[in-house]
């Protein structure tokens, strides 16, 4: 196993029989704006560097590179069950679910919220990518539903929201608030005043935690790390955009059942 820097969820760390990791941007081989653990195959980074970074992340789990299953993410509510390793295949979707030991379920992100979920009794785990659109449309519920179809019980599930853009870093326009209120009445409580009258601050992690609770998940937490505010540890799409950078690296959050 490799010794990459990771951030852990106390809730998930207490669950026997699983391994999880919210990887940072440290410990890889990429350079420039991608320094250094960029795992995004959709980025403009050197593919060989991305492959090496993914191999290092898989090795952290004691797994081969082909065992790291991640989707071609499209901000959808598609949750895919992985019975085995996908290798280089990237099915379109935004959540990976498995009950197969050794298969690593991963979510890529750079401000969007990664969600790792486990039912230690049924031995089913999932990783979901929840940006604002996926969270609003129901990607968390989709992941929970797929886990339930494999024998899991929501009340037994333990979940953690990993590093994502924090509530003080995510300023949006009023149209954003209006869409949330239209699609999910009452969600205005996740918005607070911004720097101007026509701006609001959106609490993405709190919204995702609410979605987990609505899905019946027994225990959940946000680990409290803001990707935009911690440039030494995390990639951030918004930070890169505001800095005028041409692209940005992608972080990995992943979970697996131990054999």
| Among the listed residues 40, 255, 50, 35, the one whose alpha carbon sits nearest the alpha carbon of residue 160 | 255
CB 18 within 8 A of CB 256: yes
The mean per-residue pLDDT over the stretch 213-223 comes to 98
The answer to the question of residue 172 being in a domain is no
Q: Provide the pLDDT confidence category of residue 1 given band limits of 50, 70 and 90.
A: low
Which H or E run contains 88? none
Examine the pLDDT at 2 and tell me if it is beyond 80: no
Instruction: Note whether residue 198 is domain-resident.
Output: no
From the list 214, 223, 212, 218, the residue with the least C-alpha distance to 251 is 223
**Is 233 part of any domain?**
yes
Residue 20's domain comprises 6-167+203-257
Tell me the pLDDT tens digit for each residue of 86-114: 999 999 999 999 999 999 999 999 999 99
In a domain, 180, yes or no: no
Q: Is residue 78 part of a domain?
A: yes
Give the single-character DSSP code of 110.
Answer: S
pTM above 0.95, yes or no: yes
Backbone phi, psi, residue 253, to 5°: -125, 135
Does the residue 214 lie in any domain? yes
Say if 87 falls within a structural domain: yes
- For residue range 134-146, what is the model confidence (pLDDT) as tens digits? 999 999 999 999 9
> In the predicted model, is pLDDT for residue 70 greater than 70?
yes
- CATH number of domain containing 77: 3.60.140.10
Q: Is residue 136 part of a domain?
A: yes
Count up the domains in the chain and report the number: 1
Q: Tell me the residue length of the chain.
A: 259
> For 188, which DSSP code?
G
What are the counts of helices (DSSP H) followed by strands (DSSP E) for the chain? 7, 14
């Amino acid at each position: 196993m490799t010794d990459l820097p990771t951030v852990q969820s106390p809730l998930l760390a207490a669950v026997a029989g699983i391994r999880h990791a919210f990887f940072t941007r440290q410990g890889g081989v990429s350079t420039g704006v991608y320094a250094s653990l960029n795992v995004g195959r959709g980025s403009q980074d050197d593919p060989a560097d991305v492959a090496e970074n993914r191999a290092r992340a898989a090795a952290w789990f004691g797994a081969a590179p082909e065992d790291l299953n991640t989707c071609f993410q499209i901000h959808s509510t598609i949750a895919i069950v992985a019975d085995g390793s996908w290798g280089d295949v990237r099915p379109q979707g935004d959540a990976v679910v498995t009950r197969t030991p050794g298969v690593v379920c991963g979510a890529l992100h750079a401000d969007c919220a990664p969600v790792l979920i486990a039912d230690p009794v049924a031995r089913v785990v999932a990783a979901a990518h929840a940006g604002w659109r996926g969270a609003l449309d129901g990607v968390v519920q989709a992941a929970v539903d797929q886990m339930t179809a494999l024998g899991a019980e929501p009340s037994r599930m333990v979940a953690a929201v990993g590093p994502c853009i924090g509530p003080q870093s995510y300023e949006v326009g009023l149209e954003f608030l209006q869409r949330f209120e239209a699609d999910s009445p009452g969600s205005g409580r996740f918005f607070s005043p911004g720097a101007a009258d026509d701006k609001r601050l959106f609490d993405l992690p709190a919204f995702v935690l609410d979605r987990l609770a609505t899905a019946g998940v027994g225990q959940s937490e946000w680990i409290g790390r803001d990707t935009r505010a911690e440039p030494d540890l995390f990639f951030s799409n918004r930070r890169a955009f505001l800095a005028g950078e041409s692209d940005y690296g992608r972080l990995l959050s992943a979970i697996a059942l131990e054999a």
